[in-house]
């Protein structure tokens, strides 16, 4: 097996990429133009590694190569990398999914071993290990119960199989939540113009997303802003649905929700709204459920955080772990 | 002696500009994206990508995106209203004072605070001292065709 390490900043889209993305069910955050735009806007280098077997690609891993000296206030250098660091393996553009895929017949343990060998060859001894995010219980067992595994925030999912419309969802909710959602619908009908589809101005969307990221920013290393070109590339993908909320009177963009489509489990990647329009946050859940039900999806991934709200919306938590695998 | 000072001044002026370009590429979202995906010249930052108009940007394009011109470290995203005005002062609403006409008749650029280069779309200005919002290679509103000359300092030949 061989490992091909790609830097989306420089490397053109491989000929097999579209077919690999479809086969692996990788969402729009893995589309090459999206990766190419994103890779310039990260503090660590975004590296995409493809594992090739005798018959073609059998695995793929996306990771950020970051370490010391830390970059608090600058993007990754054009060349080189940290003196010493590790690989942060995670899905490039959403926090609900892992940063790897392996074909049937290739176990996660084997994938990780081959990947580690390939990356050691590429990065040398500077790379002291890797951190895998969004590891599920089954993955953990497959990895052979690694020593350093810590639970992180669960991902919330909503089972929508069998629902004909949003009323089926409403019926499953507590009465207070149900009446709250109906009130949200009435308010939104009066105040905002809701539009599902591509087309909003990426600069305005990026502005809203940054405002939102700022609220949840890390204390020591604030999140790198989502660049306008990245947002434009992402919402321009055919398998992305964007819900935009604009004020009926002023035309101001009040909120935006981004759904990354998937044949079975679309994911609500982002919600961002202006302060004072909290009811739109709930309206976005209604839009997402409408989307999933219309597409006859078995479920919808609502992402991390806001556990209390999501449980009242009928979602269930799925355990997630972070696993550190040192090189030695 | 005067020649030596002129050469020194030109070298310092150019060096300050190159530092500004590199720092903006490393820390300011707009320039990171603009020059990474499209490219620029003098200096080229990503091999093979030379951009349009040498990487210069029309002021009109930046007016609604001042948030993108704030470095990652943070800083203001507003422009102070222009106070300095008059027949012998060349100004731009976004960039402020670009040049002043002196007794020699030339439009003199303050070389300690403003850099100017000639591009295919006209003169592009950079503010060397303003950290945020960052203005690098900005084509003033309406465009300003011309060349850069030297008269004991940089001057605009428009």
pLDDT, average across residues A59-88: 91
Q: What are phi and psi for residue A49, nearest 5 degrees?
A: -115, 130
Structure tokens at A46: 């975004």
Using the 8-state DSSP alphabet, how is residue A314 labeled? T
Task: Sort out which chain B residues have CB atoms less than 8 A from A74's CB and list them.
Answer: 26-27, 72
CB A271 within 8 A of CB A278: no
pLDDT band at B1 (very low <50, low <70, confident <90, very high): low
Closest residue by Cα to residue A158 from A148, A166, A150: A166
User: B46-64 pLDDT, tens per residue?
Assistant: 888 999 999 999 999 898 7
Task: Check residue A290 and give its pLDDT.
Answer: 94
pLDDT band at A126 (very low <50, low <70, confident <90, very high): very high
Q: Which residue of B has its CA nearest to A206?
A: B68
User: B21-50 pLDDT, tens per residue?
Assistant: 999 999 999 999 999 989 999 999 988 899
CB contact under 8 A, A227 and B27: no
Question: Over chain A, what is the mean pLDDT?
Answer: 91
CB contact under 8 A, B37 and A229: yes
CB contact under 8 A, B64 and A41: no
Q: Is some CB atom of chain B closer than 8 A to the CB atom of A209?
A: no
Give the SS3 label for residue A84.
strand
* Dist CA A74 CA A216 (whole Å): 19
CB contact under 8 A, B72 and A9: no
- Interface pTM (ipTM) of the complex? 0.87
Percent of chain A with pLDDT over 70: 95
Q: Which of B32, B71, B73 sits opposite A227 (nearest CB)?
A: B32
User: A128-152 pLDDT, tens per residue?
Assistant: 999 999 999 999 999 987 889 999 9
* Dist CA A121 CA A125 (whole Å): 9
The two beta strands, B57-58 and B138-139, are parallel
- DSSP element (H, E) containing A322: strand A316-326
Task: Sort out which chain A residues have CB atoms less than 8 A from B45's CB and list them.
Answer: 78
Could you please report the per-residue DSSP string of A215-276? HT--SSSPPPPPPHHHHHHHHTSTTEEEEEEEETTT--EEEEEEEE--SS--EEEEEEE-TT
Task: Check residue A80 and give its pLDDT.
Answer: 78
pLDDT, average across residues A302-311: 94
Task: Check residue A220 and give its pLDDT.
Answer: 63
Residue A199 clears pLDDT 80, i.e. is over it = no
Q: Which residue of B has its CA nearest to A225?
A: B29
Closest-CA distance, A270 to chain B, in angstroms, reads 20
pLDDT band at A224 (very low <50, low <70, confident <90, very high): confident
Beta bridge partners, A67, equal A85
pLDDT, average across residues A196-204: 77
- Scan for tokens 């779309």, then name that residue: B121
Q: Which residue of A has its CA nearest to B75?
A: A73
CA B140 to chain centre: 9
Mutation to test the A interface, candidates B19, B25, B35, B36, most A Cβ within 10 Å: B36
Task: Check residue A1 and give its pLDDT.
Answer: 86
Residue A194 clears pLDDT 80, i.e. is over it = no
Q: Which range among A247-251, A305-309, A322-326, B115-119 shows the weakest confidence by mean pLDDT?
A: A247-251
Q: Which residue of B has its CA nearest to A224?
A: B72
pLDDT, average across residues A264-285: 92
Q: Give the B-side interface with A, CB within 8 Å.
A: 26-27, 29-30, 32-33, 36-37, 45-46, 64-65, 67-68, 71-73
CB contact under 8 A, A37 and B33: yes
Percent of chain B with pLDDT over 90: 72
A107-110, long-range: CB < 8 A, 24+ apart:
A107/A142, A108/A139, A108/A142, A108/A143, A109/A142, A109/A143, A109/A144
Question: Would you tell me how many other CB atoms lie within 10 Å of the CB of residue A229?
Answer: 26
Tally C-beta pairs within 8 A across A and B.
49
For residue B113, cis peptide bond before it (omega within 30 degrees of 0): no
CB contact under 8 A, B36 and A224: no
CA A165 to chain centre: 26
Q: Is some CB atom of chain B closer than 8 A to the CB atom of A224?
A: yes
Instruction: Calculate Rg over the CA atoms of chain B.
Output: 15
CB contact under 8 A, A40 and B67: no
Task: Check residue A196 and give its pLDDT.
Answer: 67
Residue A197 clears pLDDT 70, i.e. is over it = no
pLDDT band at A216 (very low <50, low <70, confident <90, very high): low
CB contact under 8 A, A40 and B71: no
Q: Which residue of B has its CA nearest to A207?
A: B67
Closest-CA distance, A328 to chain B, in angstroms, reads 33
Q: What are phi and psi for residue B9, nearest 5 degrees?
A: -60, -45
Task: Sort out which chain B residues have CB atoms less than 8 A from A211's CB and list them.
Answer: none
Residue B77 clears pLDDT 80, i.e. is over it = yes
pLDDT band at A32 (very low <50, low <70, confident <90, very high): very high
């Amino acid at each position: 097996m061989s490992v091909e390490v790609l830097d989306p900043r420089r490397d053109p889209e491989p000929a097999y990429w579209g077919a690999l993305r479809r086969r692996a069910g990788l969402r729009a955050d893995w589309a090459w133009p999206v990766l190419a735009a994103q890779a310039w806007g990260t503090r660590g280098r975004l590296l995409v590694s493809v594992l090739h077997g005798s018959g073609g690609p059998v695995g793929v891993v996306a990771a950020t190569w970051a370490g010391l000296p830390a970059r608090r206030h600058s993007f990754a250098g054009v060349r080189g990398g940290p003196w010493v660091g590790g690989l942060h393996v995670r899905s490039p553009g959403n926090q609900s999914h892992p940063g790897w895929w392996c074909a049937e017949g290739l176990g996660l343990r084997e994938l990780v071993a081959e990947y580690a060998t390939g990356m050691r060859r590429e990065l040398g001894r500077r790379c002291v290990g890797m951190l895998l995010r969004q590891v599920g219980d089954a993955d953990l067992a497959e990895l052979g119960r690694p020593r350093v595994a810590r639970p992180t925030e669960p991902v919330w999912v909503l089972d929508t199989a069998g629902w004909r419309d949003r009323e089926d969802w409403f019926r499953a909710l507590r009465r207070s939540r149900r009446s709250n959602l109906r009130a949200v619908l009435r308010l939104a009908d009066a105040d905002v113009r809701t539009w599902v589809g591509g087309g909003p101005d990426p600069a305005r969307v990026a502005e809203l997303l940054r405002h939102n990221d700022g609220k949840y920013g890390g204390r020591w290393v604030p999140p790198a802003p989502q660049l306008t070109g990245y947002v434009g590339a992402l919402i321009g993908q055919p398998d992305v649905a964007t819900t935009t909320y604009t004020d009926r009177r002023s035309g101001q963009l009040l909120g935006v929700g981004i759904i990354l489509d998937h044949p079975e489990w679309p994911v609500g990647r982002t919600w961002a709204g202006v302060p004072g329009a909290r009811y739109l946050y709930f309206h976005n859940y209604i839009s997402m459920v409408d989307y999933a039900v219309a597409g006859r999806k078995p479920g919808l991934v609502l992402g991390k955080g806001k556990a209390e709200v999501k449980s009242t919306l009928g979602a269930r938590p799925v355990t997630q772990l972070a696993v550190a695998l040192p090189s030695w | 002696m005067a020649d030596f000072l002129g050469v020194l001044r030109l070298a310092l002026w150019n060096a300050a500009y190159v530092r500004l370009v590199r720092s903006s590429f490393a820390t300011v979202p707009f320039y990171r994206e603009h020059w990474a995906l499209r490219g620029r010249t003098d200096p080229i930052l990503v091999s093979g990508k030379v951009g349009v108009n040498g990487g210069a940007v029309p002021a009109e394009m930046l007016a609604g995106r001042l948030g993108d011109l704030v470095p990652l470290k943070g800083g203001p995203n507003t422009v102070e209203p222009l106070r300095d005005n008059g027949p012998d002062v060349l100004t731009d609403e976004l960039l402020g004072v670009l040049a002043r006409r002196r007794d020699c008749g030339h439009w003199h650029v303050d070389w300690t605070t403003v850099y100017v280069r000639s591009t295919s779309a006209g003169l592009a200005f950079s503010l060397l001292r303003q950290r945020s919002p960052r203005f690098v290679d900005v084509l003033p509103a309406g465009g300003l065709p011309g060349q850069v000359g030297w008269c004991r300092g940089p001057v605009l030949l428009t």
